[in-house]
Copies of this chain bind each other. A is one copy, B any other.
């Protein structure tokens, strides 16, 4: 029998308890041994819950119980989640987590501690909720060099952008609707400003390229500046605007970033709507593969956590191959200014000006797309650098520059 402790009995923590209980049969059949929830750590009491007798308030009870061999950290936030995880690993307990903040900031250190103590530190649920992505990336693409990652990594912003696209609603109105429905937090900054997606893309980049870059050091744009007109102009040109976590290597250095991007309708990422997530990986041997599913939610996230619990238990006598990455230094991060891609400019034309495609081409050089709606103009250009794009946008009347996929 393996004893598991759950740290934090919020949405995901209670989901993990539910999955382990409801699908006990299938899990134990796979493992060939019994799995028992011994403790649930939370500051609150849960009278009436079927798990109320398991609740403890003192972390040391779990830490000091040698019978607990797997700990599921579902607390959220950096502290004390990081500290508790570290203590458990050092005590020879495997830790599984959905906590992207801890993995993005302390993952390299915790993996090293896990390795040193012969236990597992697993975090499938930290990216893409219930979507299998970390294990497939490390195992199924083991013989590939990952070349590029593009992911819709945040369900809240994808829900908002989908509504803006399908219903022509304004950002602020959709955000309010999402908050009312519980899809967005009362303080939505971490989602709409791209911070959540930044944590996730640095985790994926660390797994793909071996270096953990701080989410605070990468270029991050959210979706607050996107107007319904921008969305309409892009759609007219055959593109959807999505908030994309992107990472690639430029001259052997790593460039992760988060920003809205135009995705052509022919690309499978463009069809990922509502709260769903999708991650498209480019790799040298397999080409492109995409993983799609629910990026959040109680049971989907718990499903991923439980896969890690099963993995940790199955390999508790050793044999699990942990991902490996180390903390990046400044020299590992590519210069953002070296990044080039095609651009989508949106700007306002003066009332008296007759803006034809020919006149636009005189300004931008060869263009790949041109659309005009009322007094707003959308232009798709050839590849250019960040500096060039900013310089052009600043000269245009109310000009904005988007990146293309």
* Residues of A participating in the B interface, judged by any CB pair closer than 8 Å: 19-20, 22-23, 26-27, 30, 124, 130-132, 135-136, 139-145, 266, 268, 271-273, 283-294, 297, 299-300, 302-304, 306-307, 309-311, 314-315, 317-319, 321
- In the bound complex, what is the Cα–Cα distance between A60 and B94 (angstroms)? 45
Taking CB atoms, residues of chain B closer than 8 Å to A131 are: 289
Taking CB atoms, residues of chain B closer than 8 Å to A290 are: 290-293
B271 A310 Cβ-Cβ under 8 A:
no
A289 B293 Cβ-Cβ under 8 A:
yes
- In the bound complex, what is the Cα–Cα distance between A302 and B141 (angstroms)? 11
- In the bound complex, what is the Cα–Cα distance between A389 and B371 (angstroms)? 48
Given the interface contacts A293-B286, A319-B315, does A307 sit within 8 Å of B272 by beta carbon? no
Given the interface contacts A26-B143, A139-B307, does A300 sit within 8 Å of B287 by beta carbon? yes
A291 vs chain B, min Cβ distance (A): 6
- In the bound complex, what is the Cα–Cα distance between A288 and B293 (angstroms)? 6
Taking CB atoms, residues of chain B closer than 8 Å to A306 are: 142-143, 285
A30 B268 Cβ-Cβ under 8 A:
no
Central interface residue in A273, A291, A315, by most chain B CB within 10 Å: A291
Taking CB atoms, residues of chain B closer than 8 Å to A291 are: 289-292
Taking CB atoms, residues of chain B closer than 8 Å to A136 are: 132, 135-136, 140
Taking CB atoms, residues of chain B closer than 8 Å to A310 are: 139, 142-143
Q: Which residue of chain B has its CB nearest to the CB of A305?
A: B143
A252 vs chain B, min Cβ distance (A): 14
Taking CB atoms, residues of chain B closer than 8 Å to A319 are: 314-315, 317-319
A311 vs chain B, min Cβ distance (A): 7
Taking CB atoms, residues of chain B closer than 8 Å to A315 are: 319
Of the candidates B27, B284, B288, B317, which one forms a contact with A23 in the assembled complex, judged by CB atoms under 8 Å apart? B284
Taking CB atoms, residues of chain B closer than 8 Å to A20 are: 143
A23 B285 Cβ-Cβ under 8 A:
yes
A292 B294 Cβ-Cβ under 8 A:
no
Taking CB atoms, residues of chain B closer than 8 Å to A285 are: 19, 22-23, 130, 299-300, 302-303, 306
- In the bound complex, what is the Cα–Cα distance between A318 and B304 (angstroms)? 25
Of the candidates B271, B297, B304, B311, which one forms a contact with A271 in the assembled complex, judged by CB atoms under 8 Å apart? B271
Q: Which residue of chain B has its CB nearest to the CB of A271?
A: B271
- In the bound complex, what is the Cα–Cα distance between A203 and B80 (angstroms)? 45
5 residue pairs, one from A and one from B, having the closest CB atoms = A132-B140, A143-B306, A289-B293, A319-B319, A130-B286
A100 vs chain B, min Cβ distance (A): 17
B26 A145 Cβ-Cβ under 8 A:
yes
- In the bound complex, what is the Cα–Cα distance between A388 and B272 (angstroms)? 36
- In the bound complex, what is the Cα–Cα distance between A272 and B289 (angstroms)? 12
Q: Which residue of chain B has its CB nearest to the CB of A301?
A: B286
A143 B27 Cβ-Cβ under 8 A:
yes
- In the bound complex, what is the Cα–Cα distance between A293 and B310 (angstroms)? 27
**13 new A-B contacts at CB < 8 Å, known A30-B142, A142-B306, A142-B311:** A23-B144, A23-B284, A23-B285, A130-B289, A131-B289, A132-B136, A268-B272, A286-B294, A286-B299, A286-B303, A286-B304, A290-B293, A291-B291
